[in-house]
Structure 1
Amino acid sequence: MAAELNHTVVFAEDKQASAEFIADILGLEVGAPFGPFIPVDVANGVTLDYYTNVEPTLQSQHYAFLVPDEEFDTMIGRIEAAGVTYYADPNHTEPGQINRLFGGRGAYFDDPNGHNMEIITRPYSR
């Protein structure tokens, strides 16, 4: 049997606001609370379960989303409308630019908790 990622916990200072942020950028819906979690379901069946951080500081994580090329520009527009800077690189040294890795387009941006989010239109070749 092949293993599939089903869900992952995304730690947040404000789980509702953080779930709404990524759902707005990606054009998704925030689900009804599930126990202590605020879920955001993505197209491949994986759920991002936003959870209020119990530690005094958050550890920045990286989350990459494969998105349709025809929706990429709309998502960049949503990032800009949110007042968030996007970058062509994971180290955030190329502000306001996108990358064209593997024949697709990609960009990195921080969510409200400092997690390094990425949108790409082509999966990385390995």
Structure 2
Amino acid sequence: MSVQLNHTIVPARDRDETAAFLVDVLGLAPAPVFGPFRVVSLGNDVSLDVVQAGEAVPAQHYAFLVSEQEFDQIWGRIKDRGLTYWADPHHQRPCRINTNDGGRGLYWSDPNGHNLEIITVPYGG
């Protein structure tokens, strides 16, 4: 078997709010509780295990590879929620998307300040 990412822990000020945010914006199934985590399952058998971390949450970056159709749906939900989004990871180009590597991409923040990204083509094309 090759090495694969199985899950990663996402620290949150409010575990349930963060999991609900991810599920809603990304269009995923509800996140069940497993021990101290809300488990947000992604389509490639990887999960984001959201855990209550208190007020001091270090900002992380999470990138999601999505289809063109999923991109449009997620982008629509971001706009419907009135969330600010950017074409770049440093948040210098607001309300724009990028076309890096021949695909489309954008960045937005979750309630904890995590920098979220969707792309339709992996880095490097």
Q: How far apart in 1 are the matches of 2:25 and 2:63?
A: 13
**Where does the alignment leave 5 or more consecutive residues of structure 2 unmatched?**
none
Residue 51 of structure 2 is matched in structure 1 by 51
Helix, strand or coil for the counterpart of 1:18?
helix
Task: Verify the 8 A CA contact 1:30 1:38 in the aligned structure 2.
Answer: no
Helix, strand or coil for the counterpart of 2:101?
helix
TM-score normalised according to structure 2 size? 0.95
Q: How far apart in 1 are the matches of 2:89 and 2:96?
A: 12
Residue 80 of structure 1 is matched in structure 2 by 79
Report deviation, 1:82.
1.8
Q: How far apart in 1 are the matches of 2:109 and 2:102?
A: 24
TM-score normalised according to structure 1 size? 0.94
- Structure 1 segments (4+ residues) deviating >4 Å: none
Amino acid of the residue matched to residue 79 of structure 2?
E
Residue 122 of structure 1 is matched in structure 2 by 121
Root-mean-square deviation over aligned CA pairs: 1.2
**Where does the alignment leave 5 or more consecutive residues of structure 1 unmatched?**
none
Q: How far apart in 1 are the matches of 2:37 and 2:8?
A: 11
Deviates more, 1:58-67 or 1:20-29: 20-29
User: Does 1:17 pair with 2:46?
Assistant: no
Helix, strand or coil for the counterpart of 2:33?
coil
How many positions carry a matched residue from both structures?
A: 125
Report deviation, 1:28.
0.2
Aligned 1:68-107 pairs, distance under 5 A = 68-107=67-106
Report deviation, 1:30.
2.3
Report deviation, 1:31.
2.5
